[in-house]
Structure 1
Amino acid sequence: MRNLLIAIGVLLCGSAFAQEVPEKVDLAVAQEKGCLSCHEGIEKFTGGVMMETIEAMGPDLGDPAGCVVCHGGNPQGLTAEDAHKGTVQDLADAGGPHTFYPDPGALPIAEKACGQCHEGYTERLTKSLMNTEAGKLQGNLWSWGVIDGRRAVYGNYTLVDEDGKTPAVGTDKYKEYMTAYAEAHPDQLPDSMEQVPDVDVEAVSDHPNLAGITYSRQQCQRCHVGVTGREKRGDFRGAGCSSCHVPYSNDGFYEGNDPTIAKDQPGKLLTHQMQGSRKSKVNHNGLEYSGIPTESCVSCHNRGKRIGVSYQGIMEFPYGSPYDEKGGKQPKLHTKKYLYIKEDLHHAQESRPGNPEGGLLCQDCHTTIDMHGDGNLPGTTLAQVEVECEDCHGTVSQFPWELPLGYGEEFGVKAEGDARGLTDELTEEQYLAYEYEAQDGYLLTARGNPFGNVVKSGDKVIMHSASGLDFEIPVLKQIAKDGTWKSPNAEVAMMSVGKHMESMECYACHADWAPQCYGCHVTVDYSEGKTDVDWITNANNRGEDGLTPDAAMGTNGMTGPGKVSETRSYLRWEEPTLGINGEGRVSPLMPGCQVITTVIDKDGNTVAHNETWMTPDAGGTKGVEHAAVQPHTAGREARSCESCHNNPKALGYGISGGRFLNGYDKGFTVDLETAKGEMIPGKTSVQSQPIPSLDHDLSRIVTEDGKQLVSVGSHWDLTGPLPQEMREKMERTGLCMGCHQNMTDENLWDKVNSEKFVNNKEHQEVMDKAIHALSESKK
């Protein structure tokens, strides 16, 4: 069982643990030790005031170590069966566990465990995207043509936001900002959402796109905090609060000292300790660390936008090379094999001069609201995440504290208002974490909440990482004032061309690469009673102890009709296409759910074969989705000017302008043929099946004359390809011809040509002289 304590293992009497764990303990021992009668040696869950409080409560509950405070159960039980049921009545009466909780962090029983001290977190987490996955469902079902609107209709659970649009937490400025935000964007912050429905198998024959619901329920919804996830390497985790705050290694083995937990069976927590902020120290294997390791986040964030693995610098690829010493391929991680590309500069251990060696953790940028929610029901990532790059780095003309609230998420309207300033006060929930000295003041997010770990210190901005490291953040205005640009390209891009900062996301240039998984070929087969794990069914059949059916090791729990299989067309990683994101800014795009579907109904009939589905954007486009993304692959050296202005792929025209990978709509057969393409054998096999509706490369999203070919974003009206006017202004193909067409004019060329090779810098100097000469001629 993948839970905080795998205490049920004690029930395995006669097993390898029989010599260490008694089948029955003496009454005197139970009265003296409580839960430690069997679990002696287990690690203290945490230290400091939290652990002192738990241990202080324990003796009055008959459990000196205080295990029952979080886990419930009967500390005076003499057998595992008796100990792992019920609870101490005084504890239940006080709002604590009402029965034995193997995983106290699981939703919703965490309210009676963690929630005894961390009030409100369970409700906020329940409504957050970490639990509802409403955005993923909306985007996926949009691509399948199941829904035709931008409103987040479905979630993993039926939920109602009963307390209105004013957030439950945050500063007054934040609450005012988000109340107005919700009024402006009701589709993305709905009042309620329904549990995504079951599939009507009878209706699939006539409406095969309904198979998209099966695809979501079986393939996509396993990565939410309501369930424990697959029994695969890299996917082991707890549930609810334990998803993030309890360490699980990728291989899933317990390495602690509780004698009741098997050390040779995967699916166990690494150690019974809590990871959180800087004050929560974890000691294990001779190491001490604080903060939540990136890989804990990546146990979920490895699919969809793939931002977790991208942040680490790796991307799935099919080969599994290089071989190990026995000639074997890579072990699968998250069921995939990986190629190292380049990690995000924030993740890299190598730091800029003056900073310590070591990378940032996800929680160093992402706030408690980004993680736990604010009590509203967000329908998309942009609705929940409150941070922007400029919140810490500012712009070339304004320090972060000089920017107005809303800068970076203007939604097509210029952000105006007073400077957001600084603060020396934290929000109530932030005081539960490590409290850093405010110094000159905490910086504020784009929505008005303090960064509890980012402070102004004189003319510097310091980020305190949960890992224990402190970093100076490069601030653009200070760089501009000091003239300390690392490259003239940076000064030109950010200062000389002001439009860049006004209309682009920082990561439109600074994302070194993005994973691009083109073509999501899906078969959903309902024939012969085929079934597979249904994560929504599991999530909504929770036991009294908080566990879902998938929690028991050896099974992924309850199943639903249909069996899904999927594969890809091709993978790329180079600089991505650009488009407009929901906030109205230029952003990288990546292939989203590019569904190409084959559906076999319950009677074995193929009712859809390599179909794509239509979406309503741009008057009707194929659901071969591209989505705006923050790839989390930032590099210090931004992409070159030419990679956008002289690159048809960046503009949306596809790789090499869409010249290649055409002919999907026809398919092809390879065999003996005449020069005219006539097949000579009478019996041949189709090599590649046609996709009738796909008459262009999957990387092509718009034509040169402005026709949108595929869906680009499903949540926000502003999302789409770069506008026609912008593409025409950006496109600078054929620039070389401006000069080099004159090479055939020997009299002219000899006057400007150099006998030696002209390097790039010298070439630019020639162009600079040409601009000045043109200027003089205009006079």
Structure 2
Amino acid sequence: MAGKRICLLLAAGLILTAGSVYGGGGCSTKECHSGLADIKPESHEMMRTIKMNGSQHGDPDGCVMCHGGNPKATTKEEAHKGVPATLKFSPGPKDFYPDPGSIWIADNSCGACHPGYVYRTTTSLMNTEAGKIQGNLHTFGFKEMQNYKNPWGNYDAKDLDGPAPLSGTETYKQYMSKMVQKYPDQFPMELKMLPQPTMEEINADPKLAALTYQRHDCNRCHIGVRGREKRGDYRGMGCSACHVLYSNNGFYEGNDKTIAKDKPGHMLKHEIVGTRKTGGIPVESCNSCHNRGKRIGVSFQGLMEFPYGSPYDKNGKKQPKLHTKKYMFISDDLHHQVQSREGNPKGGLLCQDCHTSIDVHGDGNIHGTTMGQVEIECTDCHGRPDKYPWELPVGYGDEFGNELNPAARGVAKERLIPGRQFGAKYDAEDGFVLTARGNPLGNVVKRGNKVIVHSATGNDFEVPVLKALHEQKKWKDPSAEIAMSSVSKHMDKMECYACHASWVPQCYGCHVQVNFAKKDGKPRMGTDWIASGNAHKNNGQTAESVLGSGGIKSMGKPMETRSYLRWEDPVLGISGEGRVSPLMPGCQVTYTVINSDGKTLVNNEIAESPDEAKQLGQEHVPLAIDMAPVQPHTAQRKARTCESCHTNPKTAGLGIGNGTFGMRQHENIVEDLVDAKTGKPLPKKYSVQIPAIPKLNFDWSQIVTRDGTQLATVGTHWPLSRAFNKKELDNFMRAGTCMGCHQNMSNEELWKKVSTEGTIDPARHLEAMNKMIQTMAEQGIKPAEMKK
């Protein structure tokens, strides 16, 4: 379709003018880019069209259609300058573009064939990072971010086409228009560039140092810049950030003699990937960005950062750093694992196999949160035990407090227009499965009562559909039927991954220092990624995009560390959608700021969240350290056990050990000779071993007290996100269940009548309890009616 569209433009005179044909020339002569591979296979319609059009502008290789430049030049300097006269007034480059994918010039390169994509992507979270900015700065106590506001992004941005999305079905557009109307702060109509504070402003208000932290550390991953030149972080800009592959080490492995093979920072090969026709986008490519914050990319692979780097390799060295971190392997997401379920081919899914074009490129609206932009839910493919996916209503799993129209969503007979134009072609069979918001999943089809996923890897997978498993009694574990079918509230009130994400990376306590004091007589400086991206040029390059340039520097050196790491038994709470969800430490910031004179302005400061207290209707003001609702992308085939939630205080948000640890973090801890009666140090000269965090008198993992008082922020983006309240905690906690029977062990006479010698295994123990329930049923005894 892309090729047909360009051919139509040619016929209409929109690309070429009469007499525009050059002869000869091109970029891949032996003096220049000899050995450079075509960007697509030669047989691909897109490649044929590019070459056909390029030949009309003097370049039979077609390079000029993406890169611009002068294909008739005889020197490198002249070749990499300007464009042929015939391109100046036609769709295509307007200068020489080193990286045609750069978002700043992509309307004249990628966008010439893919209309709408560039505008959608520019306003998407991939580029604005509005949600990241909101979440982080809320933790520092910025009033601008309270009450779910999203005023700032990496760049000035405006929603030019109004609150209705640019892309999607009519159902989707109506659904999202209602969302925007209900939650206008989560879908702002414009963003202003994140401010840059002066030293004078920081001296007056130390929390403004968070803007330096944000600009230097947090916002390097958006697609408006090329990114950090570290192992695992090499990538292109804009469209090239995803669609052109870079290895972790950043070495070129193609045959173009002009590209150095011994210097990192280059694409793996000169090729575009994206669909089944040309090869999908590997998970590792997504991970060049998605390795911080929610860490969903590396978590999907089963990796969690840790400080040690063990075990040693054969040379006695620790592992090389990846994304400047060292990792341990926990367990990868079942959708990533090579071993699939019986009947399916071997191989994992790619991120793009589930995430739609709107999830990634956006829909033309400005989104302030991930859940605002992402349109998919687990049940879109798996359904419920009592409903197939096409029997669910639009909005199921995506409620955000809304009442849903109960009508079945059905299926679609056609894909969205961009998918039909540029995606791999798939037969609709019995219809394309719909997302929760009403768009067709262009690679997922209904086949009878089966759901088939066409992966960009080339594999086709049959999805386990819950209603089919229930009707055919094919549950792998009896607890699955109980959890998903018998206890229907689990499906009504919980995210699927509340149970199936049995581990979550939990980095507790984000200790941030922003230091503006001189070091060795020189100011501390760092790369300002926002300033660098905003300094883009006519050729699409930014201040840091040339390898080794380092970008625009600004004052200050942010440093960060943590209190401790965990991965097991993630905390649960309520997400912005109103469902029970895993929580993970978001920005749990305690900050220290040292000014240019070396004076400590604040030390281990924690902000507060008066807006959270107001939303909860409680007098106690929670600390702004955030425990964020998350889809961890760590789903396992065997879900969490009942006990891992219902007998676990940490899961309930009550803290590790039921809140008995970390009680003295608000005090200075002295490790020296101490008077045992008073706890005071005996020496007059002593050092503080562990400095105090003045406001923190509970453990980082605790977010609520047993009476339902919320202690810390739970999500900053949506009004419904919170910890469990007292009623929910009362229903949730089953910690005393064992004592219902075993309290009688102290009554020797009674216990001898019901016990047997030795111990019994879990299966026999469960069977004994089952028989007890059946005996009660036979005798008409209900537990709620029993008296002591």
TM category (shorter chain) comes to over 0.9
Does the aligned pair in 1 maintain the 2:508–2:700 contact within 8 Å? yes
Determine the C-alpha separation between the residues in 1 that align with 2:416 and 2:780.
Answer: 61
Determine the C-alpha separation between the residues in 1 that align with 2:406 and 2:175.
Answer: 12
Match of 2:425 among 422, 426, 435: 435
Q: Secondary structure at the match of 1:462?
A: strand
Match of 2:177 among 165, 176, 179: 179
Structure 1 position 76 matched with structure 2 position 72? yes
TM-score of the pair, normalised by structure 1: 0.94
Q: Secondary structure at the match of 2:185?
A: coil
Q: After the TM superposition, which residues 324-723 of structure 1 pair with which residues of structure 2 at under 5 Å, given as runs? A: 324-431=313-420, 432-528=422-518, 529-615=523-609, 616-619=611-614, 620-676=621-677, 677-723=679-725
Determine the C-alpha separation between the residues in 1 that align with 2:220 and 2:692.
Answer: 32
Determine the C-alpha separation between the residues in 2 that align with 1:76 and 1:669.
Answer: 75
User: Residue in 1 aligned with 2:114?
Assistant: 118
Q: After the TM superposition, which residues 3-402 of structure 1 pair with which residues of structure 2 at under 5 Å, given as runs? A: 31-36=24-29, 37-47=31-41, 48-146=44-142, 147=144, 148-280=146-278, 290-402=279-391
Q: 1:566-610 CA distances to partner (integer Å, 9 max, x unpaired)?
A: 111101010200000000000000000011110012222111001
Determine the C-alpha separation between the residues in 2 that align with 1:326 and 1:667.
Answer: 42
Q: 1:628-668 CA distances to partner (integer Å, 9 max, x unpaired)?
A: 00000000111001111100001100111121222111121
Q: Secondary structure at the match of 1:175?
A: helix
Two-structure CA RMSD over aligned residues (Å)? 1.4
Determine the C-alpha separation between the residues in 2 that align with 1:557 and 1:410.
Answer: 43
Offset, 1:30: 10
Determine the C-alpha separation between the residues in 1 that align with 2:774 and 2:668.
Answer: 54
Amino acid at match of 1:679: P
Q: Secondary structure at the match of 2:148?
A: coil
Does the aligned pair in 1 maintain the 2:504–2:634 contact within 8 Å? yes
Q: Secondary structure at the match of 1:339?
A: strand
Q: 1:427-464 CA distances to partner (integer Å, 9 max, x unpaired)?
A: 11001110111111110000111011111112211100
Determine the C-alpha separation between the residues in 1 that align with 2:26 and 2:64.
Answer: 12
Of residues 353-362 and 84-93 in structure 1, the stretch that sits farther from structure 2 once superposed is 84-93
Determine the C-alpha separation between the residues in 2 that align with 1:483 and 1:336.
Answer: 45
Determine the C-alpha separation between the residues in 2 that align with 1:94 and 1:723.
Answer: 61
Determine the C-alpha separation between the residues in 2 that align with 1:495 and 1:62.
Answer: 66
Q: 1:145-179 CA distances to partner (integer Å, 9 max, x unpaired)?
A: 11323121111111111211111111111111111
Offset, 1:778: 3.0
Structure 1 position 778 matched with structure 2 position 771? no
Amino acid at match of 2:699: D
Offset, 1:562: 1.3
Q: Secondary structure at the match of 2:122?
A: helix
Offset, 1:31: 4.1
User: Residue in 1 aligned with 2:733?
Assistant: 731
Q: Secondary structure at the match of 2:429?
A: coil
Q: 1:208-238 CA distances to partner (integer Å, 9 max, x unpaired)?
A: 1111111111111001000011110000000
Does the aligned pair in 1 maintain the 2:104–2:536 contact within 8 Å? no
Determine the C-alpha separation between the residues in 2 that align with 1:132 and 1:296.
Answer: 20
Match of 1:759 among 756, 761, 764: 761
Does the aligned pair in 2 maintain the 1:157–1:195 contact within 8 Å? yes
Between the two proteins, the alignment pairs up a number of residues equal to: 742
Amino acid at match of 1:136: K
Does the aligned pair in 2 maintain the 1:538–1:549 contact within 8 Å? yes
Q: Secondary structure at the match of 2:509?
A: strand
Q: 1:75-115 CA distances to partner (integer Å, 9 max, x unpaired)?
A: 11111111101111211211211110000000120110011
Amino acid at match of 1:303: R
Offset, 1:738: 1.0
Amino acid at match of 2:388: F
Determine the C-alpha separation between the residues in 2 that align with 1:545 and 1:397.
Answer: 56
Offset, 1:376: 0.6
User: Residue in 2 aligned with 1:13?
Assistant: none
Q: 1:163-205 CA distances to partner (integer Å, 9 max, x unpaired)?
A: 1111111111111111111111111111111111111321212
Q: Secondary structure at the match of 2:586?
A: strand
Determine the C-alpha separation between the residues in 2 that align with 1:751 and 1:30.
Answer: 101
Of residues 32-41 and 56-65 in structure 1, the stretch that sits farther from structure 2 once superposed is 32-41
User: Residue in 2 aligned with 1:4?
Assistant: none
Offset, 1:727: 1.1
Offset, 1:777: 4.5
Does the aligned pair in 1 maintain the 2:662–2:697 contact within 8 Å? no
Determine the C-alpha separation between the residues in 1 that align with 2:570 and 2:97.
Answer: 46
Determine the C-alpha separation between the residues in 2 that align with 1:414 and 1:747.
Answer: 56
Amino acid at match of 1:354: G
Determine the C-alpha separation between the residues in 2 that align with 1:212 and 1:225.
Answer: 22
Q: 1:467-503 CA distances to partner (integer Å, 9 max, x unpaired)?
A: 0001000000010100111111001101111110000
Offset, 1:773: 3.3
Q: Secondary structure at the match of 1:655?
A: coil
Does the aligned pair in 1 maintain the 2:590–2:605 contact within 8 Å? yes
Of residues 574-583 and 89-98 in structure 1, the stretch that sits farther from structure 2 once superposed is 89-98
User: Residue in 2 aligned with 1:20?
Assistant: none
Kindly tell me: are residues 482 and 527 of structure 1, through their superposed partners in 2, closer, same or farther at Cα, counting changes over 3 Å?
same
Determine the C-alpha separation between the residues in 2 that align with 1:428 and 1:351.
Answer: 32
Does the aligned pair in 2 maintain the 1:109–1:545 contact within 8 Å? yes
Determine the C-alpha separation between the residues in 2 that align with 1:224 and 1:34.
Answer: 31
Match of 1:769 among 752, 766, 771: 771
Determine the C-alpha separation between the residues in 2 that align with 1:93 and 1:35.
Answer: 25
Does the aligned pair in 2 maintain the 1:424–1:441 contact within 8 Å? yes
Determine the C-alpha separation between the residues in 1 that align with 2:763 and 2:66.
Answer: 66
Q: Secondary structure at the match of 2:511?
A: strand
Offset, 1:35: 4.7
Q: Secondary structure at the match of 2:204?
A: coil
Does the aligned pair in 1 maintain the 2:503–2:570 contact within 8 Å? yes
Offset, 1:678: 4.0
Amino acid at match of 1:778: I
Does the aligned pair in 2 maintain the 1:444–1:451 contact within 8 Å? yes
Does the aligned pair in 2 maintain the 1:439–1:457 contact within 8 Å? yes
Determine the C-alpha separation between the residues in 1 that align with 2:162 and 2:453.
Answer: 34
Does the aligned pair in 1 maintain the 2:28–2:36 contact within 8 Å? no
Gaps of 5+ in 2: 1-21, 615-620, 783-788
